[in-house]
Amino acid sequence: MAGLITIMVKAVFIDAGKESYRTRQLKALGPIDAGLEVHKQAKSHDKSVFHEDNALVFGTGKFAGLGLFGTHRLTFVFRSPMSHGLHFSSLGGAGFHWYRTGQEIAVIKGRSRTPKIVVIRDTGIDFLEIDKTELFGLWQKQGIHSLNDWTARHLDFPFRGIYVGPAALKTQFACLYSPSMVAGKPDKGSEDVAGRGGAGSVLYRAHGLVGIAFGGKKTRKAKATTPELKKLVEQASGKSYLTAVQESTAKYRYDSALKTGGTFGSNYPGLKVYTPMFNWSMIYMPKKEREKQWKRLMGDKWWAQFNKEVIKTKSWKTCGEPCPVACKKVWNGIKVDYEPFEANGPLSWIFDFASAAKLVQKTDQLGYDSIEFGSTLAWLFEGIRDKLIDPADLAIDKPDFSNSAQLSKLGQEIAHNLAYSSDELYELLQDGRRSAGKKIPGMLDKAVYVPYGRTGYMSPTMYWAIGNLVPIPIQGRYCTYYKFAVFIEPEELAKKSWERAVGELWLDNLGFCRFHRGWAEPIMGKLLKKAWGIDIELEQMAKQIWGGIIKYNKKAGAEPQFWDSQRTKDLISLGAIEFGSADWAPRFKHDQEDTLWEYWNWFQQAFQDQLKP
C-alpha cells in the first residue's frame, strides 16, 4: 500500500508580492494534504491569520478531465480567519477550466501592495493590476459581478474566474465567488462559491489579490479510459452509469415523490417543526407554534412560490461542468440554495421568498459567506428586538418584525455597512460574532456557534443537528453527522461523525461534488487505483491527514473549546429533550452544565479514538 509520503503532486508556488512563480513537488495526493504540508512547512500557525504566509492552496483532484460527472470541484485550503485553524472549502465547475492549465496545485503566498488578479494559463502566469479607485467603483456598481466583467475585458482566452468582493476588505467571512461563463458572459445562476471559513478574506487581506483567472488547452490522460472508469461504477451499483448517477442525485435534481428538487425544495418538507427560525430561538417555542410557522413557510410566499416559479418552469442549471443533475435552481437570475435562503430568510424573521432573494443577491454581490452573514443578521435583529443594540448604532431604522420587505432592506444596508464602515459597532462585528458578543452586554448568549481557541468560532449549517455543534476540527460544513432531530450517545455520534469526516475529506481532496457522493464514495479507492495505479487505504490516509490538521490547529491555538454561548448549550440540551433521549433528557433537566461537560468530554475522547491506527 502506498503511504502518504510516497505520493507526489506538482505544485506551482505563486508569490503575489514579487509577481513570480516556481514549480516543485509536494508529498501529497490532493489539495487538502498539499495545503497541510505547505502550512506545516511555513509554520503559519505561529503567525497572524492575515500574514502573507497564510497560503491559499487550491487545486482539483485526480479525476478532473477524465470524463466522470461531478469531478471538477476546486478545493481551497487555508488558515481560517474565523476558526483560526486549518480549513478547506470548495466550489463546483471551476476545475473544468483549472485542469486545462496543466497545473495540479497552486500555492499563493506573499502580498501584493496593489490590487491584482493573478492569471494562470497553460503558457505561463502573469498579473493584472487594477487601480484601487477603479476597483471600488466597480464594487459599487454590481460588486463581484462588475469585477468579473472587468476581467473579461482584459483577457483574450476562455477562462474561469475566482473573485472577492468588498466584504473581504474588513470582515473575516468573505467568500470566493466564481461565475460560470458562456460565450464570454457570466451565466447567471450557475455560479458557485467557496463560502465557509473566510477564504475570500485571506485572498485579499493576506495576499492583496482580488481574483484568480485561469484556463488553457491542456488535457489529462490517465491509465484508464472513461468507459473503463464508468464500468467500475456499473459493477458496484448493478446499474448503468447514468442510472446510478441519476438515482443517487435525485434530491438535487428532481425528487418525483416530493415533486420538487434542489436543497431548497427538498429540505423544507422534511424539516417541519425543526426548521431554524428567529436566530434559533424557535427551540423555546411550543411545537404547535413552530408547526404554524413552518406551514406558513410552505405557503405561496416561500416554498410553494419556489416550486411554481423555479421547479415547474425547470429553471435549472449546472455549476459549469457537463452534468445531468442540474442542481442549480434559479429564480430571476438568482441561485436558490437552502442554506443561504434559510439564514437570510426564516432565521432572520424574513418569510417572503422575493425579499430573501434580494438579500441573498446583495450578500453575493458584496462577497460574503451568505450563511455567516445571515447568522450575524439574525443575531443582530434579536439584539435590537431585546433592546441590547440600538439600531441607530448600525445606521438603520427600527425593524418591523412583521415586515419581510423592510427587514430585507435593513439587512442589505447592514451588509453594505459591514463591508465598508469604520463605525465602532461595525468594527466589532467585522471581527466576528464571538469576539463582538463578548463586548456587547447580553449578546454572547444569543449567538449560536462552535468555539475554537480564545476567539475563533464557526457557525453551524442550517439544521438542528447535535453533530453540527460538537468539537471536531472543522465545523460549518458536513464533516460531521448532520442528521437533524436525533440525539444519540456521544460515542456513536463520534463514530458517525468520523465516517462523514473521512467521506467529506476524500470528496474534496479528489475533487468530487458531494451531491454525487452516493455513487462515488463507495468506489473512490477503486477508481483511484484504476485511473492512476494509486493503491491506498483511504481511511488510514484520512487518519494521517486529519491527525495533521488537529496537530496544526493545536499549535495555532484553534482547538475546539467547550460551548460558551447559552443559546448553543440550549440547542443541545433541549435537543435531547425534544428528540426523546430517555437517558440524557432527564440529566439535562437536572443539571445542564455538568451534563454538557460530560457529553462534550465523551464525544471528544471518542472522536480522538477514531484516529488511532
Query: Measuring CA to CA, how many Å separate 88 from each of 372, 455, 460, 597?
Result: 16, 19, 15, 28
What average pLDDT score do residues 115-139 get?
A: 97
b vs e for 314-339, b when ≥16 Cβ sit within 10 Å of the residue's Cβ?
ebbbbbbbebebbbbbbbeebbbbbb
For residue 566, what is its C-alpha cell? 447559552
Q: What is the pLDDT of residues 547-598, one digit of tens each?
A: 999 999 999 999 999 999 999 999 999 999 999 999 999 999 999 999 999 9
Shortest CA distance to 170 belongs to which of 360, 456, 416, 372? 416
How far apart CA 311 and CA 315 sit, in angstroms, is 6
| Alpha helices per DSSP H over 272-369 | 287-297, 303-306, 338-343, 353-366
Shortest CA distance to 415 belongs to which of 380, 377, 447, 378? 377
What average pLDDT score do residues 379-389 get?
A: 98
Whether pLDDT at 2 is above 60: no
What pLDDT, on a 0 to 100 scale, did the predictor assign at position 183? 87
For residue 492, what is its C-alpha cell? 456513536
What average pLDDT score do residues 14-27 get?
A: 97
Tell me which residue has cell 437536572: 590
What pLDDT, on a 0 to 100 scale, did the predictor assign at position 141? 92
Provide the pLDDT confidence category of residue 184 given band limits of 50, 70 and 90: confident
Query: Measuring CA to CA, how many Å separate 462 from each of 108, 340, 467, 548?
Result: 32, 9, 12, 28
What average pLDDT score do residues 439-464 get?
A: 98
Domains of the chain: 7-218 (3.60.9.10), 250-448 (1.10.569.10), 460-613 (no CATH)
Orientation angle between helical segments 226-237 and 241-248, nearest 10 degrees: 60
Report the number of secondary-structure helices (H) and strands (E) in the chain.
25, 19
Q: Could you tell me if 558 and 549 are in contact, meaning their C-beta atoms sit under 8 angstroms apart?
A: no
Shortest CA distance to 229 belongs to which of 482, 531, 541? 531
The beta-strand segments (E) located in 216-357 are 316-317, 328-331, 334-336
- Amino acid, single-letter form, for residue 597: W
Q: What is the pLDDT of residues 253-301, one digit of tens each?
A: 999 999 999 999 999 999 999 999 999 999 999 999 999 999 999 999 9
Burial class of residue 380 (count of CB atoms within 10 Å of its CB; 0-12, 13-18, 19+): buried
Q: Is 287 helix (H, G, I), strand (E, B) or coil?
A: helix
What pLDDT, on a 0 to 100 scale, did the predictor assign at position 486? 98
Shortest CA distance to 568 belongs to which of 590, 591, 600? 600
Q: Is 210 helix (H, G, I), strand (E, B) or coil?
A: strand
For residue 108, what is its C-alpha cell? 499563493
b vs e for 83-97, b when ≥16 Cβ sit within 10 Å of the residue's Cβ?
bbbbbbbbbbbbbbb
Orientation angle between helical segments 353-366 and 144-154, nearest 10 degrees: 50
How far apart CA 186 and CA 190 sit, in angstroms, is 8
Q: Could you tell me if 89 and 509 are in contact, meaning their C-beta atoms sit under 8 angstroms apart?
A: no
What average pLDDT score do residues 116-141 get?
A: 97
How far apart CA 23 and CA 172 sit, in angstroms, is 30
Q: Could you tell me if 53 and 6 are in contact, meaning their C-beta atoms sit under 8 angstroms apart?
A: no
How far apart CA 67 and CA 230 sit, in angstroms, is 9
Provide the pLDDT confidence category of residue 16 given band limits of 50, 70 and 90: very high
What pLDDT, on a 0 to 100 scale, did the predictor assign at position 5? 42
What average pLDDT score do residues 219-233 get?
A: 97
Strands 316-317 and 192-194, bridge-based pairing:
unpaired
Q: What is the pLDDT of residues 488-527, one digit of tens each?
A: 999 999 999 999 999 999 999 999 999 999 999 999 999 9
CA max distance for the chain: 68
What average pLDDT score do residues 359-379 get?
A: 98
Q: Is 1 helix (H, G, I), strand (E, B) or coil?
A: coil
Strands 105-109 and 8-15, bridge-based pairing:
parallel
Whether pLDDT at 395 is above 80: yes
Q: Is 214 helix (H, G, I), strand (E, B) or coil?
A: strand
Whether pLDDT at 69 is above 70: yes
Shortest CA distance to 456 belongs to which of 554, 363, 367, 539? 554
What pLDDT, on a 0 to 100 scale, did the predictor assign at position 613? 85
How far apart CA 500 and CA 508 sit, in angstroms, is 12
Please list, in sequence order, all residues whose beta carbon lies within 8 angstroms of the beta carbon of residue 489, skipping any fewer than 6 positions away. Answer: 583
What average pLDDT score do residues 356-374 get?
A: 98
**Cα–chain-centroid distance for residue 569?**
24
Q: Could you tell me if 481 and 475 are in contact, meaning their C-beta atoms sit under 8 angstroms apart?
A: no
In whole numbers, what is the pLDDT of the chain averaged over residues? 97
Whether pLDDT at 25 is above 60: yes
Provide the pLDDT confidence category of residue 3 given band limits of 50, 70 and 90: very low
DSSP 146: H
